[in-house]
Structure 1
Amino acid sequence: MLRGRDHQIAVLEELLTRARSGRGGALSFLAEPGMGKTALLECAVRRAGADFRTLGIRGIRQESSLELAGLHRLLGPLADRIECLPACQAEALTRVFDGNGAVDPYTLCTAVHALLTGTSHSGPVLCWLDDVHWLDRASLDAMTFTARRLGDRPVVMLFAAHNEHVTTPERDRLAGIPRLPLPPLDETASTEVLTDRCPIGVTEDLAAGLTELTGGNPLALVEMAAALTPGQLSGDEPPPETLPPESQLRAVYRRRFFRLSPDARRLALLAVADDRLDGRTLTRAALADRLDLRELEAVRAWGLVRVDGESITVPSPVIRSALYADAPLSERNTVHELLARVLDDDRQRARQVWHRAALACEANDGLAAELCEAAAEAGAAGRYTDSSRAWQRAATLTRDRGEQATMLLAAATDAWLAGRSRRSRFLVRQLTPAARQGRLRGRADLLRGEIELRDGRPATGARMLLDAAARLADHDRRSAVVALAYAGEASCLGGDLRRYLAIAERAAVLRRRHEAPDTELLFAHFEGMAATYQGHHHEAAEPLRRTVRLADATDDCASKVWASMAALILGDDRRTHELAGEAVRLGTGPDAAVKPWALAYLAMADLWLGRYPSATAHSLEGLRLARAAGQENHAVDHLATMALLAALQGDKDTARLRLDAVSDAATRRGLARPGAFTSWALACLELIEDRPADAAGRIRLMAGTWHAHPVVHVMATPHFVEAAVRCDERKGALQALEVFDRWATSTRNSVRLALSHRCHALLAGDDAEADEHFREALRLHLRGDSAFETARTELLYGHRLRRGRKPRAAREHLRNALQIFEYYDAEHWTGSARAELRAAGETAPPMAPKDAGELTNQQRQIARLAAEGATNREIAARLVLSHRTVDHHLRNVFVRLGIRSRVELPRFFS
């Protein structure tokens, strides 16, 4: 089974289907070795089956200089058809087979085209060519000539090649043939490849580490899986650091490396040995070692380095590790010595000392001390990758076991801050027995627990954090309280509210009479949230307000997030937004790890304030930062929020796209809060699709499944009531509304109170009562901030008035709803409002053209990206939108701007 190639297989299937109906085409796969080009060609042959006549060859390097050798092998099965061609073409092909005399290139190309298309008269033809970079020039020119002329013939031609041999700055040997990219496999597909080949399974950490090491290269994953030892599979032994010695892929890069000149090899090793190599450093090294910099082009041409401006990098971790392992020790040492000489800038000190340390072959306490000093400087400057590597190398050079453990923990901490969570986990596991007790063990458990909270299984993280709190209580009380706070957050994220309450009780025992503001804030937060989770909203109000007040007395980033959470429960959305915004601004340096978490509450505040485009933008930024920081749980959280936002706005395609990205990870990791958001989003979609019973059932089940989350469950009540009314489940709706009313009343928030009145209006037994509640809801909406919810209330009120045979009164509310929905470019709700208006006896006018300043935020984002030349597919991937949604928004952008195509967009965004 080909993992992670569903899109490519679908494109191949479409091409074959088209050929069966009489129209052919061509595709090329250009990618690095091991990315699955040959596997896709084999897949195409299998799927073509007996319907197709299949021809194919694989390029042979030894024959690449023999003119027409490729055609000689490819066309052999069709030799008996040559006589059916016109004389000049038949003569050209005869010369291919007997090697008798020169052949006119154009005549040869037309002869190959005629032979293949003529063969297709008796049925479709599949012609595949693998490793075309080793085909002779004349053969490849004839085949590509044919491939560009297959539109009306049932012939499919597939080409596979290595990027660097076919496409160079000087020429493109496959120009004009559509290309199907083969990107690296994502983490899910990579794990599936490993699992397919390891019957006993692989741990999540091992799978993630191998995915990172291989860069998602399928062949590298297969070869790694085959070489794993039982100890590595169980986690008792460290994971491999490079491909096994017998690896085919490693042999490919080894051959490329040793084909280079000595100068080119030295230049390649400079990039391999230093993952932050820049043009200035490379130039200085070349001058110092009298290397010919022009040889760098040969290294680039073989795909061993990538040059992008001043940055010189190795294309993937698997190439770096393979080249470093295969390079002679003397050459490696020469490169480290050379880099240690030329890295003399203060910002490069950690790298310079690290390269000196790479030459050490035994313990050296003096060099270890230098590394520690350089690591501390790099960490203080925010260069955590450098500092982590320096700490780790220092640990290998020191003799003292206790100091070694301290250095490894520092390396793990900085790896975490650099966004390398898997590396951090590995380093923590290397701690010596001296670190398995006391304060150092407590700090290690605190780090491991935070990593699990943000990038693992929250239930596991909660246990680690509780252990950390117990070990730190006597040594570092503030850190012990923080560990308990994170343990509570992990329990909440995992849906284990009983554990949260138990942790809150444990925290209360540690509380003292006089606490520092940031510590007292955590205790007040525990008290308020525990009362909230027990449904005691009035008892929760005072400690939650105290939490918010105490936030003014601290600049601690995490404390601001705890306070924003408290403000959200209190219904103070503006204060939630303010506190979360402060946390985002403070999220620099060591606090950068908190920033994705802070953005989640900033997006939630925007959601309740009705600023859906802003909420989506903040979640997009949170998603980007979470993935860069190695915090997949926060990435899932942001995707779930974005799915809910899309569902609330009626964008079904985008909502389902985002939900698909959330569901597996939320289930696998046990993330209750994102799970609750996805249930809410799905319920919104089911309401839109007129399945109220399904929507009501989904929200009802939120209270009794693994994705239980009482706060989200209460927040979703207005949609539950709407669904329950439509499927006549009034009793359940009244019970749920009673809880929502208590929360709304305790918050005194206008939006929540308006939603409460809207729910009561829907449940009202007569029109007079419904009118009273709808009017009060609209009055409260005017005092609040959520324009979109105002429009939803206007629409529901207009619908009720129309159904009550009051079309004139209904039209006013429906017009208001339509105007707001059009502003938000909410296609579904705009359509619903227009349909209601028509039913009420009025036709709404089309949108008038507007200028770029009046576009919605999302329209402006899409239009700006389109103006910069991004395709719809690229825009959809960047903004996590469906293609249909991008198309819809661009059409509306054209209408609002009064233009006809995207080529006119740049003048609005210059």
Structure 2
Amino acid sequence: MTGRTKVRQSPPQRPGAPVLHGRGAELAALKALMAPTALSDRPGLDRSRADRPGADGPVLVLSGDPGLGRSALLEHAARSFDAGPVLRVRASRAESGVALGGAHALRCAAAGLPGGVPADVPGLGAAPSWMLHLLTTVAAGAPLLVCVDDVHLWDTPSRAALGFAARRLHPAGPVRLLLTVARQHAADPDLAALPVRTLAPLSPSAADALLDDTARGHAAGSHAVPSHVTRGHTGSGAVVDPAVREELLEEAQGNPALLCALVARLSPAHLSGEQRLPRPLADAETLRDVAGAHLAGLSAEAGDLLLLVAAAHEHDPEGADAELIRRAAALPSDGRRPAATPDLLVLSDGRFRFTSPLLCRAVHVCAPPERRRAAHRALASVLEAQGHELLALLHRAWSVTGHDPPTADRLAAAAGDPSVTASRGQRSTAYARAAELTADARERAERLTAAAEQALLAGRARTARRLTECTGDSALPAVVRGRAARVRGILALRDGPATDAGEALLLARSLLAADDPGHALLAGLAAAEAAWATGDDAACLHALNAADRTAATATTTAAADHKTADHKAADHKTADHKTADHEVAGPARDYLNGMRAMLERDPGRAIPWLRRVVAHAWDEDGPERLLWSGAAALLLGDVPTARRIGARTLAAARSRGPESSVPRALELLAYAELRTGQHALARAHAEEGLRTAHLYGQGNVAAHHHAVLALAASIADEPARVAHHADAALDTARRHGLRQAATLAEWASGRAELGRGRPFEAAARLGPLVRPGPDGGHFAVRMLVMPCYVEAAALTGRRELLDEARAVVGEFALWAHFGADVQAPAQLARCRALVADADRADALYEDALTLHERAGGDFEQARTRLLYGKWLRRRRRLQEARTCLRAALVAFERCGARIWADQAQAELRANGAAPSAPGAGALDGLTPQQLRIARCVAEGATNREVALRLAVSTRTVDYHLRKVFAVLGVRSRVELSRRVEQAEQHGTRVR
């Protein structure tokens, strides 16, 4: 253990001091800890808090995993403290067993102060309070900062004395105490009752900023930086290529020390993307630099145990089975924690786990190769005895070096055997290791491709992408290149430009057509999915026609394979791979035919095919085929069935996998719930879908979940949520060409404007979405947007918008007649009422309500009642209007549509049926109509715009506005806006 004294009177910050990104809360806590109080009688110090005992406290404990910045924060505090001297002590594991070693280090550091340690300070361990006496005596009434790094490595008596002193320091006294401790020791009894701040991994934005700072500093220190990399760039991302950035951030997992070490290892050519990144990205030297100090000083027995647990983590990231470790280490099997277990491990639920994933990686990678191989051999022997064939072979494969074809063959065969129990992640790892042991280039590429396919199914997108990098050799067989192209295409479909994904998948289809027609058909359907996402119906039809050319071959091959027992290259066909050959051809071909007929605008031919696809759902448990059934149900307009299929798909994906299907299953379910008006359920499933999409690296799927969340929030009074999710969806949609997600997000923003009573803004946002052609909305979504646009256009009262709305109603009538949307007939009647003459509108509204009764759905029916109630009120049919509006209000409240409920309540007040909102303050004196006009004016509308919005004359607006000014005592529109804003800030809803 080392002690150091710093006496500093200069300004706290020095040029070039590192910026601690993402640690704002911790830096604020340090500032509060070191803030001037009545610590001394030195002139100029702030005494304002001397009379507040306990203000901010004299002690702070920082805890966290290695590399998260405990020592960096302590260094920042020592550098920033200029009120007096700083005592710094850094603990060492090598001296943990030395009695009172920590106390001795602290006393030695104190001896370096100008006054030294007074002679009357008791000796080490003389009494429980000796350390408290030491600290207060050394301070001598002047400010003193004591910093102890890694205090958990102190011996027990020293730790106990320090904790005793820390709990008894006076809040207004001169001593400030800053301790750092490993996360698992933050609750140790010696540190009980001390304030603790636990460091979390950096947020994505903080890690991104740290990467930019580190990379710029790294580039500036190199003489080999290409001029185009840094010249003229000062903002984020000036040095690091986007793909390299993503991989570095993923590898670091929010650990700042590891991120900086990774950047330091790379050259400017690596960072700019000009040179391929080294593998592994975090090598032994990098991990040793970051975590080596935390592993130093361990006994040989403890080191062996750690290595066994780390080796077992290679096949099971969730933890190492305790019984497996005990047998491999020849430990007593009595269920107790072994005496030699280091504090870097925890034992819970029958598994050993590292306290930090970084330490696990460091232990395994930094171990001498022979010791690492010995650990894998020991685990393999136990697993063989337990009958775990694949895992035993995997550890055997890790225990050999160089090429070993026999071991590689056995491992690949076990990975491809569906009777062997293993996860897709383990199969992927096994294939990848088999490839490393394979000498033949073609066979190695086949196994790498199989590993990528399994990683893709397991939701390990980054691993799958890395594995396909090694399969681009044009000399490889077409089927191998086709399988790799299919993996790359699906990866791009889930997180990349959809057009690129479509081309890769079409290439995969052509390469696979001859030898693997089942997967060729799947590739063609995936290409159609990519084209659908872009809103290119012609490209979608082209992809379906291309897939159809392989469908007959797939059916023939599937029938032949049922009769054939001998399969060439069977070691590369897992149960998932054989599914494509044996089971998928029938449902896939039905789906293909139905989709193609739909795009060819031949519903008579499409409906029977699509109904067959829906019928398959009740006999299937494969998520991919269930997703087809759900899509078919949506196309048929059978949204309740689509919702049931979505729930079934989610259950299947969770129970049997693949894991990568979970975000898409949640997308289907959330969208179907949205269509049935179950907005709260849609939000819950979309929020989970967003988390899993990010977890599995599916950015495009995440964009769809953001769009669903924006739509769900658009019916509530949550403009910030609508804007956040819509912007997030549009950000990805614009970069990756996802017109479907973009249309949904824009629809959400427009519907929110409509709900807030802003028809002009809503019409401007929704108008482009309902227009056909490449500049309009998505061809399958624009019909769903049309009722919103017609309502917005009609409420503006502008002739040119009304004319356009009538044309939209004509096109919407064709959609309603098709029958693919159960709400469409009622919506059509409502739209016709909005643009019809007064003598026809009444009957059309009644027709719409009748059709709503048949279709169900609270939200759409309530919208029709609200519009009808407004129409009735303006024709002085007040009793009928009141009935309509009350029914609309109840329905809106029942489905959580608060912003629309506000409209209904405002109309009821304007109708004289409801009092003003309680607590409105000075606004209570306004009538309902005056409240509405005040709000419109506060939003910046002119009198003419207010008249158009409220369907009254300009003279009426002028009259009521004069009354508003008189009642509120304001003299200008600016004052009125301020008064309305103040009322809203105090919780008053101005309607």
TM-score by length of 2: 0.71
Within the candidate set 319, 326, 329, 1:283 is matched to 326
Question: Partner residue of 2:309?
Answer: 271
Question: Partner residue of 1:418?
Answer: 458
Cα shift readout 1:686-731 (whole Å, capped 9, x = no counterpart): 3344443333323334468999423223322233233333444333
**Is there any run of 5+ residues in structure 1 with no aligned partner, and where?**
80-93, 847-910
Indicate the SS of the match to 2:780. helix
Deviation at 1:281, TM superposition (A): 0.9
1:171 aligns with 2:240: no
Q: Provide the rounded CA distance (Å) in 1 between the counterparts of 2:755 and 2:109.
A: 60
Select between 275-284 and 693-702 the one with higher mean Cα deviation. 693-702
Within the candidate set 106, 116, 121, 1:100 is matched to 121
1:518 aligns with 2:587: yes
Question: Partner residue of 2:806?
Answer: 734
Deviation at 1:428, TM superposition (A): 1.7
Give the aligned residue type for 2:779.
Answer: P
Where does 1:355-504 land on structure 2 (aligned, <5 Å)? Answer: 355-377=395-417, 381-431=421-471, 433=473, 436-497=476-537, 499-504=539-544
1:805 aligns with 2:879: no
Within the candidate set 346, 350, 367, 2:390 is matched to 350
Indicate the SS of the match to 1:30. strand
Once the two structures are aligned, what percentage of the paired residues are identical?
30
Question: Partner residue of 1:852?
Answer: none
Could you tell me whether the CA contact under 8 Å between 1:223 and 1:244 is conserved in 2?
A: no
Deviation at 1:28, TM superposition (A): 4.8
Could you tell me whether the CA contact under 8 Å between 1:473 and 1:480 is conserved in 2?
A: yes
Q: Provide the rounded CA distance (Å) in 2 between the counterparts of 1:38 and 1:674.
A: 45
Within the candidate set 1, 25, 31, 2:64 is matched to 31
Query: How many residue pairs are counted as aligned between the two chains?
Result: 807
Could you say if the C-alpha distance between residues 40 and 488 of structure 1 is closer, same or farther in structure 2, counting changes exceeding 3 Å? farther
Q: Provide the rounded CA distance (Å) in 2 between the counterparts of 1:716 and 1:10.
A: 48
Cα shift readout 1:384-426 (whole Å, capped 9, x = no counterpart): 1221122122222233332222221111111222221111111
TM-score by length of 1: 0.77
Indicate the SS of the match to 1:330. helix
Where does 1:241-252 land on structure 2 (aligned, <5 Å)? Answer: 241=280, 243=282, 247=286, 250-251=288-289
Question: Partner residue of 2:14?
Answer: none
Deviation at 1:830, TM superposition (A): 4.1
Cα shift readout 1:246-285 (whole Å, capped 9, x = no counterpart): 54x6345323334112221111101111112111212222
Q: Provide the rounded CA distance (Å) in 2 between the counterparts of 1:662 and 1:28.
A: 41
Cα shift readout 1:832-885 (whole Å, capped 9, x = no counterpart): 444443443334999xxxxxxxxxxxxxxxxxxxxxxxxxxxxxxxxxxxxxxx
Question: Partner residue of 1:873?
Answer: none
Give the aligned residue type for 1:573.
Answer: V
Within the candidate set 605, 613, 617, 1:542 is matched to 605
Could you say if the C-alpha distance between residues 33 and 558 of structure 1 is closer, same or farther in structure 2, counting changes exceeding 3 Å? closer
Question: Partner residue of 1:866?
Answer: none
Could you tell me whether the CA contact under 8 Å between 1:187 and 1:216 is conserved in 2?
A: yes
Within the candidate set 635, 652, 659, 1:569 is matched to 635
Q: Provide the rounded CA distance (Å) in 2 between the counterparts of 1:226 and 1:176.
A: 37
Could you say if the C-alpha distance between residues 521 and 586 of structure 1 is closer, same or farther in structure 2, counting changes exceeding 3 Å? farther
Indicate the SS of the match to 1:805. coil
1:682 aligns with 2:744: no
Deviation at 1:221, TM superposition (A): 0.8
Could you tell me whether the CA contact under 8 Å between 2:715 and 2:899 is conserved in 1?
A: no
Question: Partner residue of 1:818?
Answer: 889
Cα shift readout 1:581-607 (whole Å, capped 9, x = no counterpart): 454455464655334323322222221
Could you tell me whether the CA contact under 8 Å between 1:495 and 1:707 is conserved in 2?
A: no
Question: Partner residue of 1:881?
Answer: none
Within the candidate set 904, 908, 911, 1:837 is matched to 908
1:607 aligns with 2:674: yes
Could you say if the C-alpha distance between residues 437 and 330 of structure 1 is closer, same or farther in structure 2, counting changes exceeding 3 Å? closer
Give the aligned residue type for 1:816.
Answer: A
Could you say if the C-alpha distance between residues 165 and 396 of structure 1 is closer, same or farther in structure 2, counting changes exceeding 3 Å? closer
Could you say if the C-alpha distance between residues 165 and 55 of structure 1 is closer, same or farther in structure 2, counting changes exceeding 3 Å? farther
Deviation at 1:43, TM superposition (A): 7.8
Could you say if the C-alpha distance between residues 110 and 819 of structure 1 is closer, same or farther in structure 2, counting changes exceeding 3 Å? farther
Question: Partner residue of 1:162?
Answer: 181
Give the aligned residue type for 1:568.
Answer: L
Q: Provide the rounded CA distance (Å) in 1 between the counterparts of 2:860 and 2:720.
A: 21
Deviation at 1:823, TM superposition (A): 3.0
Deviation at 1:754, TM superposition (A): 1.8
Could you tell me whether the CA contact under 8 Å between 1:404 and 1:432 is conserved in 2?
A: no
Select between 210-219 and 591-600 the one with higher mean Cα deviation. 591-600
Could you tell me whether the CA contact under 8 Å between 1:610 and 1:786 is conserved in 2?
A: yes
Question: Partner residue of 1:722?
Answer: 791
Question: Partner residue of 2:827?
Answer: 755
Q: Provide the rounded CA distance (Å) in 1 between the counterparts of 2:33 and 2:880.
A: 56
Select between 364-373 and 833-842 the one with higher mean Cα deviation. 833-842
Give the aligned residue type for 1:271.
Answer: V
Cα shift readout 1:138-183 (whole Å, capped 9, x = no counterpart): 5665455558x57xx9x99795623347424x4262635263x432
Could you say if the C-alpha distance between residues 130 and 400 of structure 1 is closer, same or farther in structure 2, counting changes exceeding 3 Å? closer
Could you tell me whether the CA contact under 8 Å between 2:485 and 2:505 is conserved in 1?
A: yes
Where does 1:247-258 land on structure 2 (aligned, <5 Å)? Answer: 247=286, 250-251=288-289, 253-258=291-296
Q: Provide the rounded CA distance (Å) in 2 between the counterparts of 1:731 and 1:12.
A: 65
Select between 131-140 and 446-455 the one with higher mean Cα deviation. 131-140
**Is there any run of 5+ residues in structure 2 with no aligned partner, and where?**
1-18, 38-45, 217-228, 230-238, 556-584, 918-991
Instruction: Pick the structure with more helix per residue.
Output: 1
Could you say if the C-alpha distance between residues 812 and 229 of structure 1 is closer, same or farther in structure 2, counting changes exceeding 3 Å? same
Indicate the SS of the match to 1:307. strand
Could you tell me whether the CA contact under 8 Å between 1:194 and 1:222 is conserved in 2?
A: yes
Question: Partner residue of 1:864?
Answer: none
Q: Provide the rounded CA distance (Å) in 2 between the counterparts of 1:164 and 1:576.
A: 47
Could you tell me whether the CA contact under 8 Å between 1:518 and 1:551 is conserved in 2?
A: no
Could you say if the C-alpha distance between residues 172 and 549 of structure 1 is closer, same or farther in structure 2, counting changes exceeding 3 Å? farther
Cα RMSD for the two superposed structures: 4.4
Q: Provide the rounded CA distance (Å) in 2 between the counterparts of 1:701 and 1:360.
A: 63
Could you tell me whether the CA contact under 8 Å between 1:375 and 1:391 is conserved in 2?
A: yes
Question: Partner residue of 2:565?
Answer: none
Q: Provide the rounded CA distance (Å) in 2 between the counterparts of 1:131 and 1:425.
A: 39
Q: Provide the rounded CA distance (Å) in 1 between the counterparts of 2:399 and 2:291.
A: 25
Indicate the SS of the match to 1:259. coil
